[in-house]
Structure 1
Amino acid sequence: MKYRILFIVLMNLLITKVYNQENKAPLKVGVIGLTHTHVHWIFGSEPRGDIKIVGIVEPNTELAKRYAEQHKFSMKLVYTSIEEMLNKAKPEAVTAFGTIYEHLEVVEAAAPRGIHVMVEKPLAVNMEHAKKMKELAKKHNIHLLTNYETTWYPTTHKAYDLVKKENAIGSIRKIMVHDGHKGPKKIGVNEEFLEWLTDPVQNGGGAEVDFGCYGVNMLTWFMNGKLPNSVTAVSQQLQPENNPKVNDESIIILQYDNTVAVIQGSWNWPIGRKDMEIYGLRGVLYVDNRHDLRVRISEGYDGYDEEVMKLEERAAPFDDPFALFAAVVRNEVQLENYDLNALDNNMIVVEILDAAKKSAEQNKTIYFKK
């Protein structure tokens, strides 16, 4: 009898848990801006049920109509100003899909109301903006997250575990990160996105910002939030006809005590890529893409034993930016220090990017004060 009672109790607890999960109200989210085409991501994510889009800010009515037709939302959701949307839609959180320069404006509007914010990478156009955003987030006790595509790659996290938790290849000596594509115009981004993505003020720079930030974000995570000793960068404009205002080629070298990192963010790759190589004392990891990872352990001079991995997607909510955003806001997940999404990591990202731009402009190495 007692086992039957225990079984019934456990089943009731399980049913209650499933019921609560299935009936948990989604996080009410406002989408601010539609000019960043990563915004398709949030519309694709909404059907999961973690979030509900309650308002959209986009003054460009024609652009809003195009998205409304594609994603089947009502134009009644669309507002022309942030203040109007916040007042009428009353979101719990907002996501920023406008220019990088506009991220500060979003935080200035949302933070005093206690509304949490997620921005697309990078956090800010420069440290001046980043510091103001951090102050507002801390003062008003809101979460301020930054979203990168590579954060959701299962290979990114497997590589971290292999290196940091399992010591699979020995101490890190070199990391090489490659990100980018043929260039915004060549890959056919829409006019509204192209206009600001190739603007040094609205984007904060060119390829060194757009794609260099990925590598800096991951390096900061791997190095436990430690600043490099120095930053040396080279940037160049190889497509003046397509990117007349910004550089489209970038190499950023970060020097740590026992590790060197080479980050290549480019709008000149003939084939789009987001991959990474991590070299340790005993071997190397090749993070080829979202799902494919290779581990090579050294044997002799140039021999190696290789393990090839094909990884599945991570478990919810760690497989989707907006599911995780909802979980963080609801205190179901607490981000670790220098997590890829976390504010402390992304403050360092902006600091390093500022130093990289300065290094390239002045043709010299920039040293950080310890």
Structure 2
Amino acid sequence: MLRLVSLLLLILGLTPLPASAQHVPADQPIRVVIVGLVHGHVKGFLHALPQNHDAKLVAIVEPDTALAAQYRTEYKLDPALFHTDLEETLRTVKPDAVLVYTTIQDHRRVIVAAAQLGIASMVEKPLTTTMADALAVRDASRRYHVPVLVNYETTWYSSNAEALRLVADGKLGTVRKVVVHDGHEGPKEIGVGPEWLPWLTDPVKNGAGALFDFGCYGADLLTVMMHGKAPLSVTAVSQTDKPQVYPHVEDDSTVILRYNGAQAVLMPSWDWSFARKDMEVYGTEGTAVTVGPSDIRTRLRPAKQESLAQAAPLSSQQSNSLGYLAAVLHGQVQPMGDLSSLDTNLVVMQILDAARTSAATGRTVTLQPLPQ
């Protein structure tokens, strides 16, 4: 019977939750390996590590020994944790998951290497730099039956969770318009480190500039809001307002997503006067506007007055990346159709890829179904 169910899932283009993801005892922390130290988001994990009970760091893979030494000193880490060879480390240490803090271009290489050994991956957003890489990642996840997850800071915002709940519950009626603002003053302006800035502003290693760096947040939220459906078309305009700072990539973009009966506007930028990650959702029966990580403004029919409230706090399994990853590997959470899941992020990559093409050609791109 189990074999029949698995076969049916494969025919439908789906995969069951990997058996390996359910074999970590629920009362034990998951064992993780950090791969790469060139993505500055790794600092958040290392700061939180001493107080975290969901995960245990068992190794760090970083080929740049000088950078590794810098992190070892700054975070007072055991020298025995550090390695330079990815495959050898994974075979020797046998972790439950890798946390990937490489360039975005390197995501495919790391995910596939881990998958071949039955190891799950969580990468920093976005999933990859190209659709070819995204499909290769999907194929590796299916073939080796391991979860591949994507970490977005905004996934753990209770304000976003509340906005998505209002939409799902029909409180806003039919969604007609969504506007998402994401970005900051610019990576150089906010002091991004020298190990990060060069590749973040490289169109190959990062996929694009602000368009990929911040456009992915809105694309992720919209894909979940639209029940996993890709938009009908994508139209994008990109420009570089600070060519002396970002000569190779755009620092400002506007992306229009067209759905049946709805439009969304994504506004990723490295040219905001302040950092922001907020969303406006307009429906036939009400509106919801997120205000930072935890507050939300709503106006619902028949009331005429707008209200500002703090969204309900999220559970430990949904409020941070490690709690969520541990819950997946403990078999407590099914990563299907949510903000971190691979299926959602394949659609995100469709949107980003189409937006990049649209901005380069000046034409609207009509999306086609993904090959199965």
Structure 2 length-normalised TM: 0.89
Q: Which structure has the larger Rg? A: 1
SS state at 2:353 partner: helix
The residue number in structure 2 matching 1:283 is 286
Using the alignment, how far apart are the partners of 1:288 and 1:363 within structure 2? 33
- Match of residue 292, structure 1, among 292, 295, 317: 295
The answer to whether residue 171 in structure 2 is matched with residue 168 in structure 1 is: yes
List structure 1 runs of 4+ shifted beyond 3 angstroms: none
The residue number in structure 1 matching 2:146 is 142
Q: Relative to structure 1, is the Cα distance of residues 283 and 312 closer, same or farther in structure 2, using a 3 angstrom cutoff?
A: closer
Using the alignment, how far apart are the partners of 1:25 and 1:92 within structure 2? 11
- Check the 8 A contact 2:55/2:322 in 1, yes or no: yes
SS state at 2:242 partner: coil
The residue number in structure 1 matching 2:321 is 321
Percent identity of paired positions between Structure 1 and Structure 2:
42
- Match of residue 233, structure 2, among 217, 225, 230: 230
- Check the 8 A contact 1:298/1:305 in 2, yes or no: no
Greater CA deviation, 279-288 or 357-366? 279-288
TM-align CA RMSD: 1.7
The answer to whether residue 80 in structure 2 is matched with residue 76 in structure 1 is: yes
- Match of residue 210, structure 2, among 183, 203, 207: 207
Supply the AA of the counterpart residue of 1:340.
L
The residue number in structure 2 matching 1:366 is 365
Residue by residue over 1:215-250, the C-alpha shift from the partner in whole angstroms, topping out at 9 and shown as x without a partner, is: 000000000011111110000011111111111111
The answer to whether residue 281 in structure 2 is matched with residue 273 in structure 1 is: no
The answer to whether residue 347 in structure 2 is matched with residue 343 in structure 1 is: no
- Check the 8 A contact 2:162/2:312 in 1, yes or no: no
Using the alignment, how far apart are the partners of 1:263 and 1:213 within structure 2? 9
Supply the AA of the counterpart residue of 1:368.
L
- Check the 8 A contact 1:237/1:249 in 2, yes or no: yes
SS state at 1:242 partner: coil
Unpaired runs of at least 5, structure 2: 1-23
The residue number in structure 1 matching 2:58 is 54
SS state at 2:189 partner: helix
The answer to whether residue 189 in structure 2 is matched with residue 190 in structure 1 is: no
Structure 1 length-normalised TM: 0.90
The answer to whether residue 92 in structure 2 is matched with residue 92 in structure 1 is: no
Using the alignment, how far apart are the partners of 1:313 and 1:82 within structure 2? 37
The answer to whether residue 183 in structure 2 is matched with residue 180 in structure 1 is: yes
Residue by residue over 1:249-306, the C-alpha shift from the partner in whole angstroms, topping out at 9 and shown as x without a partner, is: 111100011110000000000110000000011221110110110102367xxx9312
- Check the 8 A contact 1:45/1:320 in 2, yes or no: no
Using the alignment, how far apart are the partners of 1:153 and 1:103 within structure 2? 25
Residue by residue over 1:94-146, the C-alpha shift from the partner in whole angstroms, topping out at 9 and shown as x without a partner, is: 01101000001101211110000011100010100001111011100000000
Supply the AA of the counterpart residue of 1:60.
D
Using the alignment, how far apart are the partners of 1:316 and 1:45 within structure 2? 14
SS state at 2:105 partner: coil
Greater CA deviation, 192-201 or 86-95? 86-95
SS state at 2:304 partner: strand
- How many angstroms does 1:312 deviate by? 5.1
Superposed, 1:112-123 pairs within 5 Å as 112-123=116-127
- Check the 8 A contact 1:294/1:307 in 2, yes or no: yes
The residue number in structure 2 matching 1:37 is 40
SS state at 1:246 partner: coil
The answer to whether residue 219 in structure 2 is matched with residue 220 in structure 1 is: no
Unpaired runs of at least 5, structure 1: 1-20
SS state at 1:201 partner: coil
**Corresponding pairs, count:** 345
- How many angstroms does 1:327 deviate by? 1.2
- Check the 8 A contact 1:68/1:75 in 2, yes or no: yes
- How many angstroms does 1:149 deviate by? 0.4
Using the alignment, how far apart are the partners of 1:65 and 1:49 within structure 2? 26
The residue number in structure 1 matching 2:354 is 355
- Match of residue 258, structure 1, among 247, 257, 261: 261
